[in-house]
Amino acid sequence: MSESAKKIAKIESANQMDASRRGFFKQAVAGAFGAAAMMNIVPAGIRSSAWAAGSDAPELTEVKIGFIPLTDCAPIVVAAEMGFDKKYGIKITPSKEASWAGVRDKVVNGELHAAHVLYGLVYGVQMGVGGQQKDMAVLMSLNNNGQGISLSNQIKEKGVKDGKSLKRLIENENRDYTFAQTFPTGTHAMWLNYWLAANGIDPIKDVKTIVVPPPQMVANMRIGNMDGFCVGEPWNARAIYDKVGYTVATSQDIWTDHPEKVLGTTAEFVAKYPNTARAMIMAVLEACKYIDASVNRASVAELISGKAYVNAPKDVILGRFLGDYDNGNGKKWKDPNYMKFFNDGAVPFPYLSDGMWFMTQHKRWGMLKSDPDYLAVAKKVNHIDLYTQAATQVGVSVPKKQMRSSKLMDGVVWDGSNPSAYAAGFKIKA
């Protein structure tokens, strides 16, 4: 166990001196997910072999899962550091990666068994527009919310407080404006494009966009390589901490409870190692539930802040991790839609409509030249049956519907019912 994990154990021990918290921890950490509770919900005929031997035993006992230094890598780190993986017969080795392109390549070639990865990256590879085509698999969603769009302090000095004032600035200044995102088909590119377009700024014609790995965003803004960026936390908060930028919008402003990172792998891996894939889901599900308990967030922030993981000050991570937002431009608020990892089982479920949405945006921005069979592709990529098996084993409720409905910042409703019309219906598109 790492020193950070030992610190967490000490913190929990102190917390358990409080009678009310002791009961909470027993329920949240050892109860519904504990080995005894798990066996109680598994049919008697399966109990003797589940996760120990026979057909349900993981085919691999060690799995290497890649991650990028972001707050939402927490489920992978917690599953490994807190020993949730061992309960299901596997050892997770988190592997810190330098860029999303590197994650993509290592997952595709099998150097990584799976990864904490951008939802849109998985679908880009599936469709052959985010790298060489490879059949991919989304095992579960890791989090909702918690990303952001930051602008440089030079833009702040010109009075830009929102998208409308940014549009006026771009129209009135005769120079190129540059914005960074983290991967062309990824989530941050789609949030940035959607936000710009909803404010009347064409992300293709009106500004220049570049790709920068998340941990390098703040340094690149500091030396003037971009006017703004879209990235996951804690790098928006770090831009404020380092006094180089401010937050102009959060991703939950764009789409409340939006899909973000997933536990992704190749379809080939799932076909070859289905029990291992299911064990990974179970371990990470347990981690997601653990993180979403507010009493655990401070200790998790300390854990992931270390150099082996996010490598950022704990306080930079913790504020927005708890929903305490300061935009660096005079506004502070408690955001009820901060980064969520479990939310009573709603977060980790791999909704078909979530995967379909990213394809509609790839079509909107000209990456896909024609409409695919959105639903068929999503059913192929999102392994709902495997997820449901894992969730049932650990007592996590599964939503009754495989699609969900949401209204985004521009008032447009997405429910997956007519993806072709949705993709074609935007005023600003490629």
Residues 325 and 81: their CA atoms lie apart, in Å, by 28
Question: DSSP E strands: which ranges in 204-321?
Answer: 208-211, 228-232, 245-250, 261-266
What's the start-to-end Cα distance of the chain, in Å? 50
SS3 352: helix
Helix (H) or strand (E) segment spanning residue 96: strand 91-96
Lowest mean pLDDT among 17-31, 188-202, 244-258: 17-31
**What are the pLDDT digits (tens) for 38-53?**
333 343 333 323 443 4
Q: Do domains 3-144+259-322+339-411 and 147-254 have the same CATH topology?
A: yes
Average pLDDT over every residue of 4-17: 45
What is the per-residue pLDDT across 279-333, written as a single tens digit (0 to 9) for each? 999 999 999 999 999 999 999 999 999 999 999 999 999 999 999 999 999 999 9
Confidence of residue 2 (pLDDT cuts 50, 70, 90): low
Position of tokens 């017969």? Answer: 89
- Look over the chain and give the mean of its residue pLDDT values, rounded to a whole number: 90
CB 126 within 8 A of CB 136: yes
What is the band of 198 on the pLDDT scale with cuts at 50, 70, 90?
A: very high
CB 380 within 8 A of CB 225: no
Cα–Cα distance measured from residue 151 to residue 286, given in angstroms and rounded to the nearest whole number: 36
CATH: 3.40.30.10, 3.40.190.10, 3.90.1150.10, 1.10.1040.10. Which one for 147-254? 3.40.190.10
In CATH, the architecture of 3-144+259-322+339-411 is 3-Layer(aba) Sandwich (3.40)
Domain ranges of the chain: 3-144+259-322+339-411, 147-254
The pLDDT, as a whole number, for residue 13 is: 43
Confidence of residue 55 (pLDDT cuts 50, 70, 90): confident
Three-state DSSP at 64 gives: strand
* Mean pLDDT to the nearest integer, 62-73: 98
Give the per-residue pLDDT at 251: 98
- Find the mean pLDDT for residues 200-217: 98
pLDDT in tens, 369-403: 999 999 999 999 999 999 999 999 999 999 999 99
Nearest to 283 by CA among 271, 291, 295: 291
- Is the pLDDT at 23 greater than 50, yes or no? no
DSSP-derived pairing of the beta strands 62-67 and 114-118: parallel
Average pLDDT rounded to a whole number, residues 68-94:
98
